[in-house]
Amino acid sequence: MTDLPADAANETAGAADEAPDERERLFGELLDDCVHCGFCLPTCPTHVLWGQEMDSPRGRIHLMEQTHTEDVLTEAAVGHFDNCLGCLACVSACPSGVAYDALIEHTRHRVETEYDRPRSERALRGAVFALFPHRNRLRLLRGPLRAYQASGVSSLVRRSGLLDRISPSLAAMDRVAPSLSSPPPALPERVPAVGRARARVGMLVGCVQGAFFPEVNTATARVLALEGCDVVVPRSQGCCGALSGHAGRLEESAGFARRLIEVFERERVDRIVVNSAGCGSSMKHLDRTLAEAGADEAWVRRGRALAERVVDLTEFLVDLGPRAERHPLPLHAAYHDACHLSHGQGVIRQPRALLAGIPGLRVSDLPDKEVCCGSAGVYNLLRPGAAVELGDRKGRDVASTGADVLVSGNPGCSLQIAAAMRRAGSPIAVTHTAQVLDASLRGLPAERLSGRA
Amino acid sequence: MTLVGEPGAGSGALREGTGADAVGGLVPARVARPDGTEALGRVMAAAAREELAVVARGNGTALDWGGLPRRLDLLVETAGLSWIEHIAGDLVVEAGAGTPVDELYGVLAAAGQRLSADPVRTGGTVGGMVATGVSGPRRLLGGALRDLVIGMTVVRADGVVARSGGRVVKNVAGYDLAKLHTGGLGTLGVIASVAFRLHPLPPALRVVSRALPSHEHAERALEALRRSTVVPSAVELDRPPEGPACLRVVLEGTPDGVEARAAETSRALGGEPEVADSLPGGWGVLPSEGTLALVSVPPAESVRAAARVGGLSGAAGAPAHVTGSLPAGALYASFPPGAGAGAVGAVADGVRSVPGWSMALLRAEPDVHTAGVDLWGEVPGLPLMRAVKDSFDPGHRLAPGRFAGGI
Amino acid sequence: MSETATPTRAQADVASLVPRLRRICGEDGVLTDTARRRTYESDGLTHHRTVPGAVVLPTTADQVAAVVRLCAENGVPFVPRGAGTGLSAGALPHAEGVLLVTSRMRRVLEIDVENECAVVEPGVANLDVTRAAAPYGYYYAPDPSSQQVCSVGGNVAENSGGAHCLKYGFTVNHVRGLDIVTPSGEQVSLGGKSPGAHGYDLIGAFVGSEGTLGVATRVTVGLTRSPERTVTLLFAFTSTDAGGQAVGSIISAGVLPSAVEMMDALAIEAAERAVACDYPAGAAAVLVVELDGPAAEVDAQLAEVTRLCAEAGAFETRTASGADERARIWKGRKSAFAAVGRISPAYIVQDGVVPRTALPEVLRRITELSAASGIRVANVFHAGDGNLHPLVLFDDAEPGAGERAEEVSGAILDLCIEHGGSITGEHGVGVDKACKMPRMYGPDDLATFDLFRRALDPDGIANPDKLLPTPRLCGEQPGVRRGPHPLVESGRAEQF
């Protein structure tokens, strides 16, 4: 595992010995919260696909119970845990407040540490995590030279077959985001507020966002500045650890978390603004991630202090209130709720409110809007079949709205849905909430978003 | 004969049958009139021991409904089971099978309540109304008669008294056996009492009537009503053999409410509808003579079905009066008394040849029976019905032959 | 917790069917490994658990029929299951039987606006019927509180109601057509788009038969025109008595709301903690009343209901007509069941019915029961039709608390029967209440139910041990029976 950051694997040393038992006990208590009502079934993407109990949150909790009480991890159970996209739609749907997010994260960690996966799968997973949490490695995959450049990524990545899996997505990305080939200049570390400053905020760049959608970051910084924020973009920031954490690679995730905490602790910022749903969702419980990984109390406290300052861009802007003028954008947009925004952070109202504040912009909701698009972090690489089916469903839902452009708050979703719609022969332009706001604040023509002349 | 010796059956409770007691031309040897549910049970148990064929009679207004019984030894009259227990606060009533329907409705009306089903016969009993089971025009809100029955006590062929349901509207304990007996023509048991859910009498009522000069007018009117949100209690077609048809829309509610809804209904129907504040005479009552059929069709085909029945019967020389609820797809075809078996059979064949349409002869004149016209047509699920019959009445002694498929 | 014994002989029989089940339903349509089968061990009522012998996931009616025929030919029991949300263990699997799950039969086949009906497969979620009909201005009226997940097939089996059944009735009042697979594996079509069918009303008797008469594979339901206006009102009272009185006066005034729901102080407390529903402070009872229909009628009723509640002592009234505002009022009520988990580690949801006029008396008696036993009872109920859902709270860590809670819960059912009500208004009998049936019905009544069951399922393979008491399930019932048990007498059951 030479591609792993050196510190990630070693930092758990010194975790208290009794902690795992205590965590198992707490895990058992969390399992008990499930009353088996089944309200999670209709919004669970895998249950939507396959209609069987073991691929629903209720069924997976049952499998977790079996794993917990009998202390065995069967191949069947691992398969169904792996099938979970971690979209957290079930958390939103659950009337009993079952912490499925904590349950699946704990379970995945156990799978990662105890379960002996087949060699090919181990290689694939290793490759994914050697690549994705690293913005610089990801950048090599971009643009027309990617095939050539990729050879430099790492031998592990090449051997795993991962590139074959990624290629279609990358190809789609180039098509849906033409600006990609000429990326905007890198963001400066400081972007001053336009007019009187109302706040001083840090900004997370993100791995996938930073590598593939730099213009979203540019738009985010510009919108924040136009709304009166001094924006701090620490250059030394790395991955937030979300992708690793969601896959049960807790130590790796905790390592990323520690570095991120150190970076942002150095900046005196009121809030840390995140424009990527998956990152924000994960960063809002950095303390839990650290605790699960066995970190000491001091680190957990530092994690909590950071987590409490994390805010999604749309949440932040709604709280701040509009100051800059909104110019009309005569456009029909469909808004897609990224799971880690709506289910992971409960941010549903705010992006809609911001879009509603733009004159001339008509916004449609999608049918079955609570169901995941199948992107789910790196799920589309690990379970491509299911991801494609879910993407196709979502693509049909988007098409049914007749919108000119699809807006979402997560880069993975945009890629996934755009690829699906292209496959179906009804391509659509995808954009981020930040870009729509940016266009309106700067008075750009609607065609810049819809791609139509 | 053991029947006489049964305690509680009383000496006056059993007599010889006479010509006036005949059902479908069969004169019963004996006629029993038990004075209560227990006594009815004893009568039925005795009849079981003697393997007697039994037909139940309320006030005899529908003894000519259904097929002709193949056998008849004992006629059981329910007149002795006449009682009403009205639990007004709960909007529930339970009544003995022999209770006259008029009496029941009178008691309920005095308390400001009603059983929201329009009787289709006058002079009938509660047991007869339920055993024949068909519904009158006002069925669009409270439902058909079967939807209003919440409990029932029935005496089985072997004399066992069995209850299903209860006196509360919301109840899912046990099978809803009352559904089988409602419209079962007494072939699965003799109904002893029925519990119904009630509704408050609405303070105000309007009847919006519109003449329908043509088929197209009728289709348009129905379509307009479907699009509206006036929520009628009844949308009743009246299509006499001669002259224009008429559509009557009944609206029930508060005085202000029905006023506004009547106006909206008039607009939806177009033409120049008449608005009245009471029901026309003889509302919902079907003719007491002549062959009578129930035509069931998908609601959107009601108007076409009415026209087809009218056309076929006219062509066959026995023009039928077609009435019924268009949104329920339930039409009654009343043939003129004396209509020949050929004409009735031709209409039945013509209706049944359309996929999704069915026609049952509720009451056929003797000539129609003799000619062997099929009263029921194809009845889906008949083997299951036979299985139910075999289970409840293994000796086939309850009104044998009166029901579909010779049940 | 009840575990049904697992005789070994018939288990082998199920196993021997597996190759043929796979031929019928495909490789991925049959589950045989223990871990997967175990996820089906209970429905929504988790204290009854049995691991099914095998699980099949058919996708067509033909597959259902073939599976049932195979079971019938081999005397193997089958248990139908929809979404597994039932609260009476009606879909409790049979250890030696096949669990037949309809969750892959979930196509809305047709929305027929002109005939105001929908044709759906049994695994379609109740709310999905409404979603499909909504664009045409229609909805599917029965709305059990699990409507986003519970299946139409399950609704048919249980004759589900919902908050709005006060005005719109139950599933049975809306089903026009059923394709069923009988316990012998035959496919029969009953009714259709035409609301009236000739012959015995088999649809009426099949609905609510809890899977004991076969499996519905296709359902035609009537759709209801969306009302012109809907208004939701919330009234706060200082006692449940006052709330009950208000219900009585609303109903006797001739107003028929689409829903009348009541919550007592404890239930309100739970809902506040769970969803911060912001009900009026100091309310010992809240009444949620919904009125719908033509605008003119709703307006008239609105004034009347508000007046009647004020007379009964309502100290605060809220009126909502927008969808969001209405949802806010409903939020507390709809979350109440699950919310109780926030004020108690464990609880039993009871489902009983009393005549509406007996409500105040029964509520008082429940309070007495609660006080005498030290077991708290939260009341959430459909007040309009007397359907009580007492939530009996206890701490499962405390020795004996569960038993005492069971006793209180049972005593509440006794109260319902004593007042002329029913042991279940909507959750069904299933396994959970099969042994309580003799408290509501006499031996002759039960034997008559069984006559009907045997007519369609002579071999007793369709969802056995549900709905009716059996000695295996309930043991002897001293003092209730006269003579031999009717089921024994009728040959359906043996006593061991």
Specify the pLDDT at position A19.
63
pLDDT in tens, C199-211: 999 999 999 999 9
Q: Is the per-residue pLDDT at C396 higher than 50?
A: yes
Going by CATH, does the domain composed of A19-114 fall within 1.10.1060.10? Answer: yes
Q: Do A52 and C104 touch (CB under 8 A)?
A: yes
* Ranges B357-366, C325-334, C417-426: which has the least confidence: C325-334
pLDDT category of residue A183 using cuts at 50, 70 and 90 = low
Specify the pLDDT at position A178.
39
pLDDT category of residue C302 using cuts at 50, 70 and 90 = very high
Q: Which of residues 92-151 of A touch C (CB under 8 A)?
A: 93-97
Q: Do A36 and C146 touch (CB under 8 A)?
A: no
Compute the mean pLDDT over every residue in chain B, rounded to the nearest whole number: 95
Choose among C195, C294, C424: nearest Cβ to B230.
Answer: C294
Q: Is the per-residue pLDDT at C482 higher than 50?
A: no
Place of tokens 């105040």: C360
Q: Is the per-residue pLDDT at A179 higher than 70?
A: no
List the beta strands (DSSP E) in C367-475.
377-382, 387-394
Choose among C173, C208, C357: nearest Cβ to B89.
Answer: C357
pLDDT category of residue C496 using cuts at 50, 70 and 90 = very low
Nearest-CA residue of chain B relative to C197? B296
How does DSSP assign C223-280, residue by residue? -EEPPSEEEEEEEEESSHHHHHHHHHHHHHTT---SEEEEEEHHHHHHHHHHH---PP
Specify the pLDDT at position B136.
95
Using CB atoms, list chains with 3+ pairs below 8 Å to chain B: C
pLDDT in tens, C19-37: 999 999 999 999 999 999 9
Q: Is the per-residue pLDDT at C489 higher than 60?
A: no
Q: Is the per-residue pLDDT at A145 higher than 60?
A: no
Q: Is the per-residue pLDDT at C4 higher than 60?
A: no
pLDDT in tens, B214-245: 889 999 999 999 999 999 999 999 999 999 99
Compute the mean pLDDT over every residue in chain C, rounded to the nearest whole number: 91
Distance from C289 to chain A by nearest Cα, in Å?
23
pLDDT category of residue C443 using cuts at 50, 70 and 90 = very high
Q: Which of C113, C160, C200 to mutate to test the interface with B (most CBs of B within 10 A)?
A: C200
Percent of residues, chain A, with pLDDT higher than 90: 58
pLDDT in tens, A246-296: 888 889 999 999 999 999 999 989 999 999 998 999 999 999 999 988 899
Q: Is the per-residue pLDDT at B74 higher than 70?
A: yes
Q: Is the per-residue pLDDT at B359 higher than 80?
A: yes
Exposure b/e, C151-161, CB count within 10 A at least 16 = b: bbbbbbbbbbb
Chain B hits for C200, CB-CB cut-off 8 Å, are: 180, 183-184, 188, 381, 385, 388, 403-404
pLDDT category of residue A209 using cuts at 50, 70 and 90 = confident
CATH code 3.40.50 region(s) in chain A:
326-450
Q: Do C44 and A54 touch (CB under 8 A)?
A: no
Contact between residue B170 and residue C259 where contact means Cβ atoms under 8 Å apart: no
Chain C hits for A53, CB-CB cut-off 8 Å, are: 36, 39-40, 84, 101, 103
Q: Is the per-residue pLDDT at A166 higher than 70?
A: no
Q: What six digits make up the tokens of C327?
A: 């949802």
List the beta strands (DSSP E) in B156-189.
161-165
Q: Is the per-residue pLDDT at C58 higher than 60?
A: yes
Chain B hits for C457, CB-CB cut-off 8 Å, are: none
Query: What is the average per-residue pLDDT within A337-346?
Result: 94
Using CB atoms, list chains with 3+ pairs below 8 Å to chain C: A, B
Contact between residue C13 and residue C27 where contact means Cβ atoms under 8 Å apart: no
Distance from A41 to chain C by nearest Cα, in Å?
7
Q: Is residue C445 packed enough to be buried (19+ CB in 10 Å), middle (13-18) or exposed (0-12)?
A: buried
How does DSSP assign B265-319, residue by residue? HHHHH-S--EEESSPPTTTTPPPSSS-EEEEE--GGGHHHHHHHHHHHHHHTT-P
Nearest-CA residue of chain B relative to C187? B381
Specify the pLDDT at position A128.
79
Q: Do B172 and C182 touch (CB under 8 A)?
A: no
pLDDT category of residue A127 using cuts at 50, 70 and 90 = confident
Choose among A39, A52, A74: nearest Cβ to C103.
Answer: A52
pLDDT category of residue C6 using cuts at 50, 70 and 90 = very low
pLDDT in tens, B33-44: 999 999 999 999
Contact between residue C169 and residue C141 where contact means Cβ atoms under 8 Å apart: yes
Percent of residues, chain B, with pLDDT higher than 90: 94
CATH topology of domain A326-450: Rossmann fold (3.40.50)
Contact between residue C352 and residue C425 where contact means Cβ atoms under 8 Å apart: yes
Cα separation, B242 vs A323, whole angstroms: 77
pLDDT in tens, B252-283: 999 989 999 999 999 999 888 999 999 999 99
Specify the pLDDT at position C137.
96
Chain B hits for C293, CB-CB cut-off 8 Å, are: 231, 253
Please state the φ and ψ torsions of residue C400, each to the nearest 5 degrees.
Answer: 85, -10
Specify the pLDDT at position C480.
39
Specify the pLDDT at position C413.
95
Specify the pLDDT at position C11.
41
Distance from B321 to chain C by nearest Cα, in Å?
20
Query: What is the average per-residue pLDDT within A234-244?
Result: 89
CATH code 1.10.1060.10 region(s) in chain A:
19-114
Query: What is the average per-residue pLDDT within C88-98?
Result: 97
pLDDT in tens, A348-391: 999 999 999 999 999 999 999 999 999 887 787 888 889 999 99
Check if A91 contacts C (Cβ < 8 Å).
no
Specify the pLDDT at position A1.
35
3-state secondary structure of A242: helix
pLDDT in tens, C134-166: 999 999 999 998 999 999 999 999 999 988 999
Domains and CATH numbers, chain C: 2-101 (3.30.43.10), 108-225 (3.30.465.10), 227-342 (3.30.70.2190), 434-489 (no CATH)
Distance from C459 to chain B by nearest Cα, in Å?
13
Give residues with Cβ within 8 angstroms of A82, minimum separation 6.
Answer: A111, A382, A383
Specify the pLDDT at position A154.
53
Distance from C292 to chain B by nearest Cα, in Å?
11
Q: What is the SS3 assignment for C309-331?
A: HHHCCCCEEEEECCHHHHHHHHH
Nearest-CA residue of chain B relative to C301? B254
Specify the pLDDT at position B9.
46
* Ranges A294-298, B8-12, B90-94, B292-296: which has the least confidence: B8-12
Which value does ipTM take for this structure? 0.96
